[in-house]
Amino acid sequence: MPRKKPYSGKQKKQQLKEKRTKKGSSDHHLTKSKWQKSATNSEDSAREETSLNSSLKVQTAENTSKYNPERYRLNFRLESRSEIERRKHEAQTKPIQFVPENVLEANIKEIYQPGSELDMPKRPNWSYKMSKEQLESREASYFQKYLNEIYNKFGDQNLSYFEHNLETWRQLWRVLEMSDVVVMVTDVRHPVLHFSPALYEHVVVELKKPLILVLNKIDLVPACVVAAWTSYFKSLFPHLHVVWFTSFPSDTRRLNAKKQESLPKRLAPKKRIYTTQIGPKELLHICQSICGDKVDMSSWEDKIEQDLGKLGFSSNDTSPAHQASCGDGSDKHKTLTENQQALNYESGDGEIDTKKTEAFEDGKLTIGFVGHPNVGKSSLMNGLIGRKVVSTSVTPGHTKYFQTYFLTPTVKLCDSPGLVFPSLIDKQQQVLSGIYPVAQVREPYTPVGYLASRLNLVNILRLKHPSSDASEKWTPWDISEAWANQRNYKTAKAARPDVYRAANSILRMAVDGRLCMYMRPPKFAEEKGIWEQHENTVGLLTLRTTGHFHGNIACDSDGRPLYLEDFVGYSSESIADSNSMSGFSEDSDPEDYDTDDTDGNKTLDQDDFDVMENKFSALAMMDDE
């Protein structure tokens, strides 16, 4: 072996300089992904690709290996530096103003504008005679044209974040084609953000398949809100089935809120229980009404009875959740043929030719789960199966490609990766609802201000103004800085308050449900008294009071229950008591926040949720004496 030659510092500097030059030249232009490269086979697709790259700044990573780990990564439009600096300046100078409760009411027609260019991309016409390159080129050209039409119509500022990765849309197309029943999963806190009317029209009208809407995480909002959303969707989409679902186990102890202090300690279960009693039986009844005698679901029914037996419940009696979410059965219990006859299907425009497959082939039912990222599709599958078979994460986009699993020999579940449909909602709402990854938020202060105008974060977190003046008005930057001081977040070099980390922590708590901002259907504030007495509300409350459903239990990012008796919500009555936003209490101590999460960030300890003084004290630190 030859002797090693000395490597001088000058040579090392030259080597690093060459590496930087090489890397800079490769990153100067946006790297084309596999589907973009295949599109250059045709002259039209090449022109469209050039137009797309010049108008849409989508950041992708270069990969020269055969396997590209970034292939299914969530891709969103890259914001300009000037836009970020402008919002950052507003967060530092513009005081927070509370908004009335009716501002949280949302109309789905204003968000998605059915019939406009916001329609979802659909798989172009294809045949088995086409080669792989021809098929990918056609799909890429169509998708680029679809993106250009959207941005030409609405511009960069009006559009929300939405999926720019064609590979993710391809996963959705495959799942829709192979599924006999499509289940759209939504977070009940923001259902209008997660429900796409374009997907409803595509599945029900064009594909002629039944669609089931799952209102997931119903334990995070009041029962009257769940009932109001159920009625709202059924009135707008008459052929839609609605099911309630929660992944929290039934044997979890809940907090008795009759006492305001000195409650005993509670420990989280050592092992996560995935079996749930709210949702599986209701989903089974709807699938039975759709399939009729074409699929034998006795094995699924037996499995549900066994799972409920382990929890100490019986599935023989019809639960109030089934009666409330599925209706009385007079118009929903139809076979697939009857449903198709009842629908007035419109013929397509000829550009979409979905390959028809035989429904319930070989006597098997395929259920496809679709929806936005972070709404709980994978957790729902684990709840149906009764154990963890699909990996889950609080980070949006954790599921990269569709996965199938046989629930029973005759029922197959298909989990698709979450993707974001184009809409006109505020980008801050997308961040707070978990659609956009918090780790990718370059300017988190504007979403914090959006949340603080709807939730009294000062009272919830018991913050003290950084200026030590209780009468000083609060800005999103002040809230982030106060939270950094309280949690002792410091920058590495200068030991200043780490404002970015604090704002990021607040956003993560909002996504996890610890800071629970939820939307209401139109006219909910006016009709709140009616919804509180609605039969669906009574049915859900019956489950909570009889022990069949221990509601209002939030959990952290690790799935540990936080034992919240009441929801962390917003009430218009709190505006008058919180105009100064100086809700600091001397009972709180920043050192009480002493639990670290897996990333080394300090998080609220479970024992910090012993007492609920009001809807804004869920995260307050309470003495145990």
Which helix (DSSP H) or strand (DSSP E) does residue 370 occupy? strand 365-371
Distance in angstroms (rounded) separating the CA atoms of residues 458 and 582 = 7
The contacts of residue 9 (CB under 8 Å, 6+ apart) are none
Which helix (DSSP H) or strand (DSSP E) does residue 213 occupy? strand 211-216
Handedness of CA 227, 228, 229, 234 (dihedral sign): positive
Distance in angstroms (rounded) separating the CA atoms of residues 327 and 308 = 22
Distance in angstroms (rounded) separating the CA atoms of residues 381 and 388 = 8
* Three-state SS at 158: helix
Distance in angstroms (rounded) separating the CA atoms of residues 100 and 198 = 31
Query: What are the φ/ψ torsions at residue 257 (nearest 5 degrees)?
Result: -90, 10
The confidence score (pLDDT) of residue 156 equals 67
* Percent of the residues in the chain that have a pLDDT greater than 90, as a whole number: 16
The contacts of residue 611 (CB under 8 Å, 6+ apart) are 260, 261, 263, 617, 620, 622
Q: How confident is the model at residue 378 (pLDDT cuts 50, 70, 90)?
A: confident
516 in Cβ contact with 189 (< 8 Å): yes
State the first-to-last Cα distance of the chain, in angstroms, to the nearest integer.
73
**Which of 2-6, 59-63, 149-153 comes out lowest in average pLDDT?**
59-63
* Three-state SS at 367: strand
Tens of pLDDT, residue by residue over 211-268, are 999 998 888 888 899 999 999 999 999 899 999 888 764 433 332 233 223 223 344 5
Q: In what order do the strands lie in the sheet with 211-216?
A: 240-245, 211-216, 181-187, 365-371, 411-415, 403-408
State the average pLDDT for the chain. 70
The confidence score (pLDDT) of residue 407 equals 87
The confidence score (pLDDT) of residue 596 equals 38
Tens of pLDDT, residue by residue over 547-598, are 444 333 333 333 333 322 332 333 333 323 333 333 333 333 333 333 334 3
The confidence score (pLDDT) of residue 314 equals 58
pLDDT at 352 over 50: no
The confidence score (pLDDT) of residue 313 equals 60
Q: Which residues face 412 on adjacent strands?
A: 366, 406
Domains plus CATH for the chain? 106-155+162-249+275-415 (3.40.50.300), 427-520+552-609 (no CATH)
pLDDT at 69 over 70: no
The contacts of residue 555 (CB under 8 Å, 6+ apart) are 248, 512, 513, 561, 562
- Inter-CA distances, 568 with 112, 225, 383, 515, 562, Å: 28, 14, 25, 6, 12
Q: CA nearest 325: which of 535, 27, 131, 120?
A: 535
178 in Cβ contact with 207 (< 8 Å): no
Average pLDDT over residues 141-162: 81
Tens of pLDDT, residue by residue over 468-518, are 777 789 999 999 999 999 999 999 888 999 999 999 999 999 988 888 889
Tens of pLDDT, residue by residue over 88-146, are 999 999 999 999 888 889 888 888 876 666 778 888 888 888 898 999 999 999 888 98
pLDDT at 276 over 50: yes
Output 38 or 133, whichever has higher pLDDT: 133
Local structure of residue 590 (DSSP, 8 states): G
The confidence score (pLDDT) of residue 471 equals 79
Output 21 or 272, whichever has higher pLDDT: 21
Average pLDDT over residues 403-430: 84
Query: What are the φ/ψ torsions at residue 220 (nearest 5 degrees)?
Result: -90, -10
The confidence score (pLDDT) of residue 180 equals 92
Give the CA diameter of the chain. Answer: 88
Q: Which two tokens stand for residue 534?
A: 């609605």
